[in-house]
């Protein structure tokens, strides 16, 4: 054991994470299971974390992967505790099923207590109840919270209301708050390594006069130095949402009436990294404020949406070995080449701007190129995490300058579901830009002539528009922005074919697209004669009547082979469809001189005449 402890003490946590080999040693001692009376061997191992609980664990190798690996390595018993659990190859980690072997058959337990036949959830509750009733222990909730990295060595942030009386941190009296940041000339650390507040000249606490005074008055008797660290940015943001509910209350963070009315945040949208940053602190503080009665909801946020990461689309150039010559992707066969990441901002549709590449970095000033048959240099590509080192970080300013902010917004929403990670591909942004030009063409012709009139919307206009209203309204509620953009593209195409000129219909279209393309929408809204912002316009209401069809088109078949189609009134009976089909001139041609044996009508689909 001494040798093993010496071995473990010489290893770092990083080494343990990299080298996952199983190590351990039997202590020679046993622990008695208080429920069954069985002897359990006590082992020591470096995979047990000293900082988690007491540093001692009850191993369950059948249902924990690390315990399983340890037991397999040292030949220890692996007893499944869930009925039907197969632990022949790996642990059964699912926390569900019916409990078994608790106690095992043939083992006479110390106590009259069995969990066999209960679900895992029932077994846990039964065990806690038994332990509590028989005073074998107490039930406790353990909270696991990441170490609170709460102080910052910088100027910005709320100062801690703490001063140091003879080296002992002491709180500034509550009725003297707030303590405000002092003016400093330099926002850098001091020459002796103190935080920026070390540059302050008025940053000491006068106990007698209960105020901040000049540092020169520090005497260690009644005047003492104030804390130099500040709170981080999330100190205030951990509860800022509550303050937004009652911002003008000068006597409390939030009043009871406002807290009862607003309760908590309906929706929180943030990146997945927030789950271990701002969100964990917000929940921690909110639970504390809930216990105090300040917050009326235990959870600060009712719904959480984590938007997916935008991945980069990298581009590569191919340098011929031992040269400064670069060969196009479609010409590189037969050459020994090295792929090199190139700045995606000098590549368009995978075609390299050769002159921009030469100016990009000094070592490429005299670069030579083997172009393809069209005189272009085509780059290779791959989807990777956006990173400066891979030169695939897209500068949004360049996109906005070239295509406009609305194109950028629209394309980001069109990439895919909001919660999924998706690759950024600048090549695809042209499609969104073309769509916005088609949208604009509904309102202005090529000569700049304004097209909408006071004409009534046609039936087809209203059908296209109300399909769109229904789709976009539902999609926004479901955060399905990418399918909304697709629906806009279809609707604009249909309205263009219909030559829609109805001012009323085109006004509703502008309101619908405003959340997606606010700048274009605002321009068109004012062009339509509105004096207020489109943001204040009421959302169009969906009317299902406009989607109802007056007629239905059915395929007409003879002995199962489709020959033509006919239109019938919606709701026509089978008998009416059969009579109309047999009376049609086209039908007469196919049944001329033949006997009709049967007519099969499948509503909404087909008419089959058997001859």
Counting beta carbons within 10 angstroms of the beta carbon of residue 435, is it exposed (0 to 12), middle (13 to 18) or buried (19 or more)?
buried
Give the Cα separation of 242 and 284 in Å (integer). 14
- Reference 302, options 276, 327, 321, 283; nearest CA is 283
* CA–CA distance, 530 with 535 (Å, rounded to integer): 12
393 vs 372: which has the higher pLDDT? 372
First-to-last C-alpha distance (Å) of the chain:
94
Contact by Cβ (8 Å): 556, 607: yes
Q: ∠ CA 203-208-214 to the nearest 5 degrees? A: 25
Residue 348, H or E segment: strand 347-348
Name the DSSP letter for residue 602. E
**pLDDT at residue 144 is higher than 70:** no
**Interatomic CA distance for residues 323 and 326, integer angstroms:** 8
Q: Are 12 and 20 in contact (CB under 8 A)?
A: no
| Mean pLDDT of the 601-611 span | 89
Contact 439, 513 (CB under 8 A): yes
Handedness of CA 565, 567, 570, 574 (dihedral sign): negative
Q: How far is CA 106 from CA 102, 127, 330, in A?
A: 11, 21, 74
Quick: pLDDT tens for 555-578: 999 998 999 999 888 888 899 899
* Number of CB atoms found within 10 A of residue 306's CB: 16
Spatial contact of 607 and 577, defined as CB atoms under 8 Å apart: yes
Helices 518-527 and 503-513: crossing angle, nearest 10°? 160
19 vs 324: which has the higher pLDDT: 324
Residues 364 and 355 sit within 8 Å (Cβ to Cβ): no
Give me the pLDDT at residue 50, please. 63
Q: Could you report the per-residue pLDDT of 483-540, keeping only the tens digit for each? A: 999 999 999 999 999 999 999 999 999 999 999 999 999 999 999 999 999 999 999 9
User: Residues near 403 by Cβ (< 8 Å), separated by ≥ 6?
Assistant: 429, 432, 433
Contacts with 356 (C-beta within 8 Å, 6 or more apart), sequence order: 346
Query: Comparing C-alpha atoms, which of 432, 439, 440 is closest to residue 407?
Result: 432
Interval 279-301: pLDDT, tens: 888 888 899 999 999 999 999 99
How far is residue 358's CA from residue 366's CA, in Å, rounded to a whole number?
7
What is the number of other CB atoms lying within 10 angstroms of the CB of residue 193?
8
CA–CA gap between residue 467 and residue 59 (Å, rounded): 59
| Residue 182 burial (10 A CB sphere; 0-12, 13-18, 19+) | middle
The model's confidence at residue 163, banded by pLDDT at 50, 70 and 90, is: very high
Q: How confident is the model at residue 17 (pLDDT cuts 50, 70, 90)?
A: low
More confident: 387 or 289: 289
pLDDT band at 145 (very low <50, low <70, confident <90, very high): low
Tell me how far CA of residue 581 lies from CA of 565, 570, 572, in angstroms: 10, 15, 12
Instruction: Please write the tens of the pLDDT for every residue from 404-421.
Output: 999 999 999 998 888 888
What's the pLDDT at 276? 64
Question: What pLDDT, in 10s, does the model give residues 420-478?
Answer: 888 887 777 899 999 999 999 999 999 999 999 999 999 999 999 999 999 999 999 99
Please give the pLDDT value at position 71.
92
Helix (H) or strand (E) holding 378: none
The pLDDT of residue 376 is: 96
Tokens 């528009």, residue located: 465
Q: What are phi and psi of 140, to 5 degrees?
A: -140, 145
Backbone angles phi, psi at 260, to 5 degrees: -70, -35
Q: pLDDT: is 400 or 108 the higher one?
A: 400
Tell me the average pLDDT across 325-346. 94
Q: How far apart are CA 90 and CA 75, in angstroms?
A: 14
Q: Could you give the CA distance from residue 318 to residue 407 in angstroms, rounded to a whole number?
A: 32
- Of the chain, the percentage scoring pLDDT greater than 90 comes to 63
**DSSP secondary structure code for residue 214 in this structure:** -
SS3 562: strand
Cβ within 8 Å of residue 344, ≥6 positions away: 312, 313, 314, 315, 391, 392, 393, 394, 426
H or E stretch at 7: helix 2-9
Do 383 and 312 meet the contact criterion of CB atoms below 8 Å apart?
Answer: yes
Q: Which of 417, 403, 406, 399 is nearest to 484 (CA)?
A: 417
Distance between CA atoms of residues 365 and 354, nearest Å: 10
pLDDT at 249 over 70: yes
The predicted-structure confidence for 195-230, as pLDDT tens digits, reads as follows: 999 999 999 999 999 999 999 999 999 999 999 999
Contact 237, 206 (CB under 8 A): no
State yes or no: pLDDT of 184 exceeds 70: yes
- φ, ψ for residue 189 (rounded to 5)? -60, 160
pLDDT band (50, 70, 90) for residue 245: very high
Confidence of residue 275 (pLDDT cuts 50, 70, 90): low
Give the residue among 221, 203, 216, 222 at the shortest CA–CA distance from 194. 203
Query: Taking residues 36-52, what's their average pLDDT?
Result: 80
* Residue 517 contacts residue 436 (beta carbons within 8 Å): yes
Q: Distance between CA atoms of 316 and 322, rounded to whole angstroms?
A: 18
pLDDT attached to residue 82:
92
The answer to whether the beta carbons of residues 299 and 306 sit under 8 Å apart is no
* Spatial separation of the C-alpha atoms in residues 521 and 3, rounded to whole Å: 75
For residue 53, pLDDT over 80 is answered with no
Distance CA 474, CA 481 (A): 10
| Matching residue, tokens 């069209």 | 374
Structure tokens at 67: 């315990």
Task: Determine the Cα–Cα distance for residues 177 and 180; give it in Å rounded to an integer.
Answer: 8
49: confidence class by pLDDT, cuts 50, 70, 90: low
Distance of CA 111 to the CA centre of its chain: 50
């Amino acid at each position: 054991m001494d040798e093993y402890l010496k071995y473990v003490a010489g290893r770092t946590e990083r080494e343990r994470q990299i080298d996952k080999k199983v190590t351990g040693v039997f202590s020679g001692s046993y622990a008695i299971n208080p429920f069954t009376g069985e002897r359990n061997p006590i082992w020591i191992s470096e995979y047990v974390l000293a900082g988690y609980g007491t540093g001692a664990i009850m191993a369950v190798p059948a249902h924990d992967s690390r315990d399983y690996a340890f037991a397999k390595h040292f030949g220890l018993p692996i007893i499944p505790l869930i009925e039907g659990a197969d632990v022949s190859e790996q642990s059964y980690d699912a926390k569900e099923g019916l409990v078994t072997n608790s106690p095992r058959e043939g083992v006479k337990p110390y106590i009259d207590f069995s969990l066999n036949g209960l679900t895992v959830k029932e077994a846990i509750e039964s065990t806690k109840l038994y332990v509590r009733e028989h005073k074998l222990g107490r039930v406790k909730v353990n909270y696991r919270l990441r170490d609170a990295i709460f102080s910052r060595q910088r100027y910005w942030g709320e100062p801690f209301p703490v001063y140091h009386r003879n080296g002992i941190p002491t709180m500034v009296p509550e009725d003297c708050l707030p303590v405000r940041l002092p003016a400093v000339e330099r926002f850098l650390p001091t020459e002796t390594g103190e935080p920026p507040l070390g540059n302050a000249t008025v940053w000491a606490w006068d106990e007698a006069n209960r105020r901040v005074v000049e540092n020169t008055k520090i005497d260690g008797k009644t005047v003492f130095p104030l804390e130099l660290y500040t709170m981080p940015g999330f100190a205030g943001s951990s509860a800022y949402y509550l303050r937004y509910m009652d911002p003008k209350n000068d006597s409390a963070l939030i009043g009871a009436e406002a807290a009862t009315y607003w309760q908590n945040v309906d929706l929180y949208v943030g990146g997945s990294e927030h789950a271990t940053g701002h969100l964990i602190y917000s929940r921690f503080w909110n639970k504390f404020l809930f216990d105090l009665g300040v917050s009326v909801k235990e959870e600060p946020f009712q719904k959480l949406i984590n938007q997916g990461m935008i991945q980069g689309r990298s581009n590569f150039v191919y340098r011929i070995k031992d040269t400064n010559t670069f060969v196009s992707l479609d010409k590189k066969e037969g050459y020994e080449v090295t792929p090199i990441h190139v700045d995606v901002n000098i590549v368009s549709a995978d075609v390299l701007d050769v002159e921009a590449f030469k100016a990009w970095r000094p070592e490429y000033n005299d670069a030579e190129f083997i172009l393809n048959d069209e005189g272009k240099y085509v780059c290779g590509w791959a989807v990777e995490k956006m990173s400066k080192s891979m030169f695939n970080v897209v500068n949004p300013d360049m996109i906005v300058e070239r295509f406009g902010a609305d194109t950028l917004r629209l394309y980001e929403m069109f990439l895919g579901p909001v919660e999924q990670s998706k690759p950024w591909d600048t090549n695809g942004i042209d499609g969104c830009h073309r769509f916005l030009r088609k949208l604009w063409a509904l309102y202005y012709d090529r000569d700049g002539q304004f097209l909408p009139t006071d004409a009534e919307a046609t039936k087809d206009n209203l059908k296209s528009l109300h399909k769109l209203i229904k789709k976009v309204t539902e999609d926004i509620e479901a955060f399905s922005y990418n399918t909304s953009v697709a629906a806009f593209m279809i609707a604009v195409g249909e309205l263009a074919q219909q030559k829609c000129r109805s001012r009323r219909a085109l006004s509703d279209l502008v309101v619908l697209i405003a959340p997606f393309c606010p700048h274009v929408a605002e321009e068109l809204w004012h062009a339509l004669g509105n004096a207020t912002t489109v943001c204040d316009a009421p959302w169009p209401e969906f009317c299902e009547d406009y989607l109802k069809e007056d007629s239905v088109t059915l395929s007409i078949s003879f002995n199962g082979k489709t020959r033509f189609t006919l239109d019938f009134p919606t709701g026509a009976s089978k008998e009416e469809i059969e009579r109309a089909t047999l009376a049609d001139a086209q039908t007469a041609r196919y049944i001329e001189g033949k006997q009709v044996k049967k007519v099969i009508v499948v509503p909404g689909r087909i008419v089959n005449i058997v001859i």
